[in-house]
Every structure is written in C-alpha cells, then in structure tokens.
Amino acid sequence: MSAARKDRLVQTDHPDGMTAREAGLAACTECGRLHRLGAETCSRCGARIRDQEVSLQPVWALLITGILAYIPANTWPMLITRTFGRAEPSTIIGGAIDLLSHGSYFVAAVVLVASVVIPIAKFVAIGWLAYAIRSGRVAGQHGRHRLHTVVEFIGRWSMIDVFVVAVLAALVQLGFLARIEPGPAAAPFALSVIFTMLAAQWLDARAIWQAAPAPEAGPAPSTGPAPKA
Amino acid sequence: MSAGPHRGEESGITGEAIRDSNLEDLVACPSCDLLHRRRVLAEGEAARCARCGTVIETRKRGAVDAVILSSVAMAVLLVLALWAPFLSLSGAGVTQRMSLVDAGLALGDGALVPLSLLLIGLTVALPFLRALLHLWALLPPRLGFAALPGAPAAFRAAMNLRPWAMAEIFMIGVAVSVVKLAGLASVEAGPAIYALAGVVVVLAYENALLCRETVWRMVLGEETPEPETPTSDTPPATRETPA
C-alpha cells in the first residue's frame, strides 16, 4: 500500500471482485449511492435509478440518425460566400481544401480532423462498442472502456465547424461587397454531432464490463450470489 | 496485463454479507460497477477503481469552495463575453464590430435563427446556467443555511449539462474563422474573446477539482467523515498535513 500512497492514489480494496449488479445492487448514476436492485428512485438525491441493462435500441437509433444526417452535412454547402453579388458555395471538405490552397495547413488539418475524421471514427467506435456489448464480448474491456471515454470526450469537438459558420455569418455582413451565409448543411451537421453525442451518452459504460470476468480469479458469476430478494 | 494485486482477499466479503451490510460502506465504480469497500480518504488522496482505474472519490481541501468561486467567476466572465465587443472586422473601408448579442440579433432572418440560438446557447447560456445551478445548490449549505428547494435537482442538472457547455470549442471555432477571413478583411480580437478564454481556464480548473461525492455531501448537508488520525505505519514522508 505504501507504494500507492506515494503518488497519493489509493486503490480501494474490493470484496471478491464483484460488481454491484452481481451483488444485487444498483448504483445511482447521479450521486453514486447504492441501492438494492429494484429501487426506482435514489433515496439520497432523488434521481431515477437507471438500469444498466437498458436496451441498446436508443443507441442504435441515435447513431443511425447521426450517420444519416452526416450525409447531407457533407454533400450540401456549409457556407455560401457572396462577393460582389457572386455566390460561392463551399462544402466542409471544399472549405478545408480552400484553406490548404491558401497555405493554412494547420487550420485545414484542424477542420478536417474535427469535421471528418472525428465524426467518422465516432460512428465506427459507437457501433463497435454497442455491438460488443450486445454480443457479450469477454475480452478487451479495458480498451473498449478507454475508447468509450475518448468518444465521450472528443465527440463535442466536431462542433467547431458549426461555430465557424455562425461566427463568419454574423461577422461578415459588409453590405453588397461581401456577405457570408450559412449553407443548408449547417443544420444537419449540428444535428449529426448532437445525435452521436447522445448516442455515446446513452451507452452505459458499465455495460461494457458486464461480461467481464472479475479481476484475477474471482468467483465465476454462476457461483456468485445468485439469490435475489 | 499484470495480475491485479487488489483482489482484497483479506476482506473476504461474501454476497450474503454484502446483501446484509450497510450499503453506505460500499461504493461501486461509476464506470465499471465493481464494488469496493468505502474508505475514508486523507487530504489529497484519490480512490481509484481497482479494475478500470476510474477515480471514484477524491479529497481535496476547498473543493467545494473552488466550485463556488469558479461559478461566480464564470458568471461574470460570461456576461462580459456576451455584451463586450467580440471581434472587429475591417475591410473595403467598412469596420464592423460584433458582440455575441449582436451576432444573435443580426442573424435574425429565417434560416439563421436556429444557428444563432445554438451559438448563444452552447457557448454562453449553458455555461451561465450551470454556474447559477451550482450556486443555487452549493452556496446556501456552504454558508451554513438550509439548502434551497430543488438543490439536488439543480446539481444533477448542472452535472448533466457539462458536456453541452462548449465555450472552449467555440474558441477554436473563432480561431479558425479568423484564419478563414485573413484574405478578405483584417480582424481584431475584442475583450469578449479574452473573457471567453478566461471561461475556458476557469472551466478546466473546476473540472480538475470537482469530486462528485464531495459536492453531493455538501448539497445534501451530509457530514464528510474525518479520516482517523494517521496510523503510525504511514511513512511520514508521504503525509501532507503539517504538524
């Protein structure tokens, strides 16, 4: 224990390597208080106790909606620049290519990563996590748990391009000389980000661990405390 | 993957014992649901899950005060960010100055309304609302008064709104916009930009200090258990408390 003390981290010891669920308990997702399974509201903070075995259907529905919204988000123009009465629509990728051609490689990379790489990686990641939960994969929980954390943390950053459009449109109103308007892709893009954020939130991290064996040679679930009150 | 040394054989708790034991002595990892026996932390300690490593609880001096103070700072900075000039743009003999409120109002026609609502909502309104909810839930109990009605619900809402408060993402969006405009006009940053940058810093500070368990105890007026006097087997070098 003294080694753990040195960096001032303590690993609480855990009885038998059992999850709350296996012990017939459910933790409040809001304040953490444990309850016997079957409790509906938290006796401590009043929140509804969310069952971790919530169906994956909402996750799939939100994810698919996000993917569908992402298609027009990329094919329709995101920005329409009017200079001297000439309208110039540009898509997300077109805008990034424009930036590249002006030599702003770094900013172009930021836009591409935030608007293309992150959303697509997120679709794949959420789909994979949901699939792994459904099929009860036993190995690799650590990796998938980390993936879930990363997806939740990084998904919001896709909003960058929506903010760019809003700022440009608000700022550039120079009469007939130059005017920037948001294109029709702005709404589906924002919705795509919002839907996938919701999908990631709906995916309960605890479900990733459900099929996991207890650390080390903990009791097999079958010999665990099966009786339920 | 090394074998975890933290199986806790010494505890030897059976399922039966768990079902009969006081649930307040146990805590489940919020990420992977593994049960742990709760233990009173010393100042500066953090309890991590033995399986997935998620921090379950920390004990830092003044964590609640930090949340209260950063909420106040955040509210002030956000009001500034909303009304102070944000960017000014000059090109073709015209100068335009814009505050976020102007942005919201200027985007008044048709298709732009949802966009401006989204902009103001995610960058200013939600962080501001979170700051107010924190103060509603935490300030009275911290000052020794009774909790206001709905305090638990307020704190819950503040926690759930966390991923949707996007001031820092907006800052990056502004930077990208400025680069995009470089050819068209010259852009200057106004005070609101610095206020928002302040918001980003305060937010990071708050996130680093916020421990859900500690704050819930304050919201609900529960006592934080004091650690027992440090046992003699603790090496003195690792103790923080001055004599």
Q: Tens digit of pLDDT for each residue in B68-88?
A: 999 999 999 998 888 888 888
Flag if A163 and B184 touch (Cβ within 8 Å): no
Same domain as A138, residue A112: yes
Same domain as B113, residue B44: no
Same domain as B172, residue B116: yes
Q: Please check whether residue A64 lies inside any domain of the structure.
A: yes
- According to DSSP H, which parts of A7-159 are helical? 57-75, 92-101, 105-112, 118-134, 141-154
CATH number at residue B158: 1.20.140
Same domain as B75, residue B35: no
Chain A positions in Cβ-Cβ contact with residue B126 (cut-off 8 Å): none
Flag if B172 and A23 touch (Cβ within 8 Å): no
Q: Please check whether residue B40 lies inside any domain of the structure.
A: yes
Of the given ranges (A92-96, B63-67, B115-119), which has the lowest mean pLDDT?
Answer: B115-119
Q: How far is B158 from chain A (nearest CA, A)?
A: 11
Task: Tell me the three-class secondary structure of B101-114, residue by residue.
Answer: HHHHHHCCCCCHHH
Same domain as A132, residue A46: no
Query: Of the candidates B6, B41, B59, which is a domain's last residue?
Result: B59
Same domain as B198, residue B81: yes
Which is more confident, B23 or A165?
A165
Which is more confident, B19 or B23?
B23
Same domain as A83, residue A34: no
pLDDT, mean of residues B156-161: 90
Name the residue facing A12 among B47, B89, B177 (closest C-beta).
B47
Q: Please check whether residue A7 lies inside any domain of the structure.
A: no
Chain B positions in Cβ-Cβ contact with residue A35 (cut-off 8 Å): 23
Owning domain of residue B193: 63-219
Same domain as A134, residue A123: yes
Same domain as B213, residue B176: yes
Q: Please check whether residue A83 lies inside any domain of the structure.
A: yes
User: Which among A128, A124, A188 has a CA at the least distance from the CA of A161?
Assistant: A188
Q: State what percent of residues in chain B have pLDDT above 70.
A: 79
DSSP state for residue B241 in the 8-state scheme = S
By the CB < 8 Å criterion, does B30 face chain A?
yes
- According to DSSP H, which parts of chain B are helical? 15-20, 63-83, 100-106, 112-120, 126-143, 151-161, 167-181, 191-209, 212-219
The yes-or-no verdict on residue B28 having pLDDT over 90 is no
Flag if B50 and A14 touch (Cβ within 8 Å): yes
The yes-or-no verdict on residue A86 having pLDDT over 50 is yes
Q: Please check whether residue B7 lies inside any domain of the structure.
A: no
pLDDT, mean of residues A183-199: 93
Q: How far is B50 from chain A (nearest CA, A)?
A: 6
Same domain as A70, residue A38: no
pLDDT band (50, 70, 90) for residue A12: low
Chain A positions in Cβ-Cβ contact with residue B153 (cut-off 8 Å): 46
Same domain as B187, residue B98: yes
Same domain as A67, residue A180: yes
Q: Tens digit of pLDDT for each residue in B164-212?
A: 988 889 888 888 888 888 777 788 888 888 898 898 899 888 888 888 8
> Considering chain B, what is the average pLDDT of its residues?
78
Same domain as A60, residue A40: no
Which candidate in A1, A6, A9, A10 is best for mutational testing of the B interface (most B CBs within 10 A)?
A: A10
User: What pLDDT is attached to residue B8?
Assistant: 34
By the CB < 8 Å criterion, does B47 face chain A?
yes
pLDDT band (50, 70, 90) for residue B1: very low
User: What pLDDT is attached to residue B13?
Assistant: 47
Q: How far is B28 from chain A (nearest CA, A)?
A: 6
Query: Of the candidates A6, A35, A51, which is a domain's last residue?
Result: A51
Q: Tens digit of pLDDT for each residue in A34-50?
A: 888 888 888 888 888 87
Same domain as A128, residue A30: no
Flag if B15 and A23 touch (Cβ within 8 Å): yes
Name the residue facing A15 among B8, B155, B166 (closest C-beta).
B8
Q: How far is A66 from chain B (nearest CA, A)?
A: 17
Same domain as A179, residue A157: yes
Chain B positions in Cβ-Cβ contact with residue A2 (cut-off 8 Å): 234-235, 238
Cβ-Cβ contacts under 8 Å for A17 (sequence gap 6 or more): A214, A215, A216, A218, A219, B7, B8, B34, B50, B51
Same domain as A71, residue A160: yes
User: What pLDDT is attached to residue B7?
Assistant: 36
pLDDT, mean of residues B46-70: 85
Cα–Cα–Cα angle for B99, B103, B108, rounded to 5 degrees: 150
Same domain as B92, residue B47: no
The yes-or-no verdict on residue B232 having pLDDT over 70 is no
> Considering chain A, what is the average pLDDT of its residues?
81
Same domain as B53, residue B68: no
CA dihedral A152, A157, A159, A165 (to 10 degrees): 180
Residue of chain A whose alpha carbon sits nearest to that of B222: A44
Owning domain of residue A68: 53-212
Same domain as B135, residue B42: no
The yes-or-no verdict on residue A167 having pLDDT over 80 is yes
Which is more confident, B45 or A108?
A108
Residue of chain A whose alpha carbon sits nearest to that of B52: A142
Name the residue facing A182 among B23, B112, B163 (closest C-beta).
B112
pLDDT band (50, 70, 90) for residue A67: very high
By the CB < 8 Å criterion, does B37 face chain A?
yes
| Number of domains observed in the structure of chain B | 2
Cβ-Cβ contacts under 8 Å for B103 (sequence gap 6 or more): A166, A167, A170, A171, B86, B116, B119, B120
| Number of domains observed in the structure of chain A | 2
Name the residue facing B45 among A8, A35, A46 (closest C-beta).
A8
Flag if B89 and A163 touch (Cβ within 8 Å): no
The yes-or-no verdict on residue B53 having pLDDT over 90 is no
Q: Tens digit of pLDDT for each residue in B95-107?
A: 777 787 776 666 5
- CA terminus-to-terminus distance, chain A: 36
User: What pLDDT is attached to residue A157?
Assistant: 92
Q: Please check whether residue B2 lies inside any domain of the structure.
A: no
Same domain as A102, residue A25: no
Residue of chain B whose alpha carbon sits nearest to that of A175: B94
A69: amino acid identity, one letter: A
User: What pLDDT is attached to residue A29?
Assistant: 86
The yes-or-no verdict on residue A8 having pLDDT over 50 is no
Same domain as A187, residue A104: yes
User: Which among A66, A158, A150 has a CA at the least distance from the CA of A111?
Assistant: A158
Match 């309104």 to its residue by tokens. Answer: B125
For residue A49, give both structure tokens.
Answer: 């106790």
The yes-or-no verdict on residue B15 having pLDDT over 60 is no
User: What pLDDT is attached to residue A85?
Assistant: 75
Name the residue facing A12 among B56, B169, B180 (closest C-beta).
B56
Q: Please check whether residue B243 lies inside any domain of the structure.
A: no
User: What pLDDT is attached to residue B106?
Assistant: 60
The yes-or-no verdict on residue B234 having pLDDT over 80 is no
